[in-house]
Amino acid sequence: MDRLTEKNSLAFNFSARATLPVGAGLGSSASFSVCAATAVLLLLRHINIPKPPASSDPSTGYIDVSHQGRRALPLALAQDVNHWAFMSEKILHGNPSGVDNSVAVFGGALAYTRPGFAKKSGMEVIQGSVPDLSLLFTSAGA
């Protein structure tokens, strides 16, 4: 990570547009932060795009990208992206829990408790199988 903190850093502009509602609690800032962190790390050549997995169906070339116990990114690469996405979330929100960016990078389900409650503070992976859910989100406008 030393290359990322050098004073002779490269300057660039980064812009994005999204149609996700802001402030709706859907983790859109964390998703943006993960994308921005990945783009910057790629631009600075701190990380490389991993090779795609082998085809799940050789006759069609289809690649099954569901997690099913596998990681979409190598762990070290995912940890770097998560670290810098969390830094972005700190700029955007001040004191984020880190849950949204962690779920955006690693997937799965996490539970978070802030300090001061009866339970130990921090993130815990929700163990066991999390059922697939079909959800419909609507915006009531505001």
Q: How do 110-113 and 122-125 pair as beta strands?
A: antiparallel
* Of the options 2.60.120.10, 1.10.1200.10, 3.30.230.10, 3.40.50.2300, the CATH number for the domain spanning 2-54+72-125: 3.30.230.10
Domain boundaries, the chain: 2-54+72-125
65: its two tokens: 């990208």
| Model pTM above 0.75 | no
Cβ–Cβ under 8 Å, residues 82 and 99: no
Alpha-carbon distances of 74 from 51, 71, 120, 142, rounded to whole Å: 10, 7, 29, 40
- pLDDT for 1 equals 45
Cβ–Cβ under 8 Å, residues 30 and 22: no
The 3-state secondary structure of 28-57 reads HHHHHHHHHHHHHHHHCCCCCCCCCCCCCE
Q: Residue 75 in 3-state DSSP?
A: helix
9: its two tokens: 């850093």
DSSP type of residue 62: B
Report the amino acid identity of residue 127.
Answer: Q
Report the catalytic residues: 100
Report the amino acid identity of residue 38.
Answer: T
**29: exposed, middle or buried (Cβ count in 10 Å: 0-12, 13-18, 19+):** buried
List pLDDT tens digits, range 104-137: 888 777 888 777 766 667 777 777 666 777 777 7
Per-residue pLDDT tens listing for the chain (142 residues) = 455 555 556 677 878 787 777 677 788 889 989 999 998 898 888 887 767 666 666 676 665 555 554 556 778 888 999 999 999 999 988 988 888 999 888 877 788 877 776 666 777 777 766 677 777 777 776 5
